[in-house]
Amino acid sequence: TISDLAKIAKKKVPKVVFDYVEGSALDEVSYGRSKAAFDRVEFTAHTLRDVSKVDPSIEIFGKKVDLPILFSPTGYTRFMYHVGEPAVANVAAQNNLIYSLSTMGTTSPKELADQVPQVRRWFQLYVMQNRKDSLSVIKQAKDSGFEALILTVDTPVSGLRIRDIKNGLTIPPRIRLSTVFAIARKPIWWLNLFTTKKLEFAAFRGWNKSLVELAAAIFDPATKFEDVKWLQSVWSGPIIVKGVQNLEDVKRLAKMGVDGIILSNHGGRQLEKGPVPLELLSEVVKVVGKKVDIYIDGAVLSGQDAYAAVAMGAKAVFIGRAYLYGIMAGGERGVQRVVEIMKRDFVNTMALTGARNIAEVQKIGARIRPL
């Protein structure tokens, strides 16, 4: 299971690294609620159907994807495993899935395209305080063959992640007296850090800004709906808006003609005690599902979780922590194992509910049991 991989990962990387992946904002209530929502899901089972062959594939923007499970953009991926984003993208390519590269990635758009040219790739973007900076990053994505932009809108400021604050997280890690003891406990991780290329935010190479200055430049608290229109004017491909947390915003974005919406609370890492994406899903799909593709993320830790979201109307789910557990546990092989586990669970649940394809999954449906 993914939980088993998380246990292995915890033994392989320093505490500051594992806590960065595992942790969320403040008391971590939001993430706990997201996990609890999946625990309350109830499936409908149809029997006496021929499920000797089931097909979990879907189409996204006119192209087949083998499983409705996509790779979320995650920052600092080389912090978790020294190869970083290309290892994940390679797994996505091998399994005909979509990989999303973060603005805060440790691999640049060009580097990813050069190393894994065959992967379908989307680029996650923040509207930056200086729009010229945004345009510079957008150009990198366009020139490197990224087919869609994911605009993240739930970060007017950074969330308060207590684990990271207590651990004194810095990118790259500072060498302190305590580092000597950390090296002794996790020598392989530290050896990889010291013997591979510098850990940095690759899209901003050459900016000569500190981490604090960079964060201030990337997160613009003045971002508005008008900025979505601006993005539509400078990007000709699909635009997916990530971090939407209420129906009013969903309806407004759908009216503006965005191509996709990701219901997301940023894995519980931004607003503490905010809405739970899975609990919003059915109503959102009912209101705008025919106009725009609706995706979901947050606490998707099994194939059954993915099935639940798709059965409730999601086009697909995005996974983040799940594949980061895999990459910490075993590098690229660990990520591949995550895909195998989630596909096994998803296909098994399809057969047990009597669904032979994704259309039947959504026709059969699922619900969240009331408290």
Where in the sequence numbering do the catalytic residues fall?
Answer: 266
Q: How far apart are CA 340 and CA 320, in angstroms?
A: 15
Q: What is the 3-state secondary structure (H, E, C) of 55-94?
A: ECCEEECCEEECCCEEECCCCCHHHHCCCCHHHHHHHHHH
Is 186 exposed, middle or buried (CB count within 10 Å of its CB: 0-12, 13-18, 19+)? Answer: middle
* C-alpha span between 365 and 350 (Å, rounded): 11
Token pair 């920052």: residue: 75
DSSP secondary structure of 167-187: HT--SSPP--HHHHHHHHHSH
Q: What is the DSSP letter of 357?
A: B
Residues listed for the chain = 371
Residue holding tokens 């200055």?
A: 213
Token readout for 59 is: 């189409």
Helix (H, G, I), strand (E, B) or coil at 219: coil
Tokens of 155: 């970060």
Amino acid type, 119: V
